[in-house]
């Protein structure tokens, strides 16, 4: 039996720069190797409507138009990952926004140099993760299943 803690969900987008640079496998592999459970995965094109919602906190910024253009320049890969304190764990794996100063070992720190072209998006709080997962995934696109490696990823009292 899994307890609700390991069912925390977060949204990750693999951004157009990473799609163009052939980094889907590299990035997805890092989340898999961490022990996270992939419960949703799809390629999708983003339009202005979803980008206005997704980046509503940046709507007034001078770089918003450029950011939206970048995010529409190719499809993205959307994934929903599940795990114990997964929102925080994924943010740490991704590293800070400005990729060229992101910590070595993080996805942005290892794979990118730009502030805007920083290869991934990750939800920044549990509250926002709930909104973002439901914005990008229909209920039927999220899959519940037993992940057999969990007994080696978590201690019994964490599951
Ligand atoms: P985050 O992706 O690390 O959560 P946010 O501040 O939420 O960072 O910004 C969302 C995205 O907007 C960034 O990942 C980046 O692609 C873009 N962005 C943020 N700040 C700038 C900027 O100053 N110039 C250009 N693009 C930016
Ligand atoms: Mg953000």
Which domains are delineated in the chain? 8-139 (3.30.70.141)
Cβ(10) – ligand 1 distance below 6 Å: no
- Name the strands in the sheet holding 76-82, side by side, starting at the edge strand that comes first in the sequence: 37-44, 76-82, 9-14, 120-122
* 63: DSSP letter: T
Among 97, 107, 115, the mutation site with the greatest number of ligand 1 atoms within 8 A of its Cβ is: 97
Q: What is the pLDDT of residue 147?
A: 95
Q: Name the residue among 66, 86, 78, 69 with its Cα closest to residue 27.
A: 78
C-beta of residue 83 within 8 angstroms of C-beta of residue 35: yes
Q: What is the mean pLDDT of each run of 10 residues along the chain (159 residues)?
A: 88 98 98 98 98 97 98 98 98 98 98 98 98 98 96 94
Q: Name the residue among 91, 97, 83, 82 with its Cα closest to residue 125.
A: 91
Q: What is the pLDDT of residue 3?
A: 82
Overall pTM surpassing 0.95 (yes/no): yes
Q: Is residue 147 helix, strand or coil? A: coil
Q: What is the pLDDT of residue 4?
A: 85
Tell me the CA–centroid distance for residue 145 and ligand 2, in Å. 29
């Amino acid at each position: 039996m899994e307890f609700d803690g390991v069912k925390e969900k977060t949204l990750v987008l693999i951004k157009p720069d990473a799609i163009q640079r052939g980094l889907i496998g590299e990035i997805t592999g890092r989340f898999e190797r961490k022990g996270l459970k992939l419960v949703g995965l799809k390629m999708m094109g983003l339009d202005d409507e979803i980008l206005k919602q997704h980046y509503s906190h940046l709507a007034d910024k001078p770089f918003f138009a450029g950011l939206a253009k970048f995010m529409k320049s190719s499809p993205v890969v959307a994934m929903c990952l599940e795990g114990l304190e997964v929102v925080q764990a994924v943010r740490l794996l991704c590293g800070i926004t400005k990729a060229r100063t992101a910590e070595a070992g993080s996805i942005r720190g290892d794979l990118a140099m730009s502030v805007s072209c920083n290869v991934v998006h990750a939800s920044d709080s549990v509250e926002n993760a709930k909104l973002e997962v439901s914005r990008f995934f229909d209920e039927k696109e999220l899959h519940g299943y037993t992940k057999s490696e969990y007994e080696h990823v978590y201690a019994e009292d964490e599951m």
